[in-house]
Amino acid sequence: MGPYQYGEPGMTVIALGADHAVFPLKEDLKAWLTTRGHRILDVGTDSLDAVDYPDDALLVAEAVTIGAAARGVLVCGTGIGMAVASNKVPGVRAAACADTHAARMSREHNAANVLALGGRVTGREAAIAILQTGLGTDFGGGRHARRVEKLAALERAIPRAGVSDAPAR
């Protein structure tokens, strides 16, 4: 893999969140991202005290959808809960990725804007490689753009409660 480069111009701020199971990995990812010039919007958590992953997922999802962050990165035990939760927020395309191929495809084909990692199943070095791949891969456009637009159409077609109706943390 070549040296890291920003995937998109202006992709400066990354929203980052984790639950208690894996928050040390969030700190490692934060250090890695900061070293590479990103600013981090860290929504927590910062201790081993148990939290509920949907709360962190919502904060990162909102940061991405309002444009406060260019991308989101969420870490829980498997990555699955964070992906499921953040995908409830319209405009989010979250992908739980356990390898670099999935990370590349999630960007190239699905224009994923949130990467979910599983800190109990993916080690630090692999997580960084997955993150680097995701950030460094552009959306492929073309036929994939038509499909991603259909995802947005699904969101418009299915009425749902607004994010502001989400239960308080």
Q: Which residues bind ligand RB5 (CB under 6 A)?
A: 19, 21, 53, 76-78, 80-81
Query: Cβ 23 to ligand RB5, closest distance in Å?
Result: 10
By DSSP bridging, strand 114-118 and strand 94-96 are: parallel
Nearest CB to ligand RB5, comparing residues 72 and 136:
72
Nearest CB to ligand RB5, comparing residues 76 and 128:
76
Of the candidates 76, 97, 101, 144, the residue annotated as catalytic is: 76
* Cβ-Cβ contacts under 8 Å for 29 (sequence gap 6 or more): 16, 73, 75, 117, 127, 128, 131
Asked about 38 being catalytic, the answer comes back as no
Half-sphere exposure of 124 (CA within 13 A, CB side): 10
The count of residues in the chain is 169
Query: Cβ 162 to ligand RB5, closest distance in Å?
Result: 24
Query: Cβ 79 to ligand RB5, closest distance in Å?
Result: 7
Question: Torsions phi, psi of 94, nearest 5?
Answer: -100, 140
Asked about 109 being catalytic, the answer comes back as yes
Give catalytic residues, as residue numbers. Answer: 76, 109
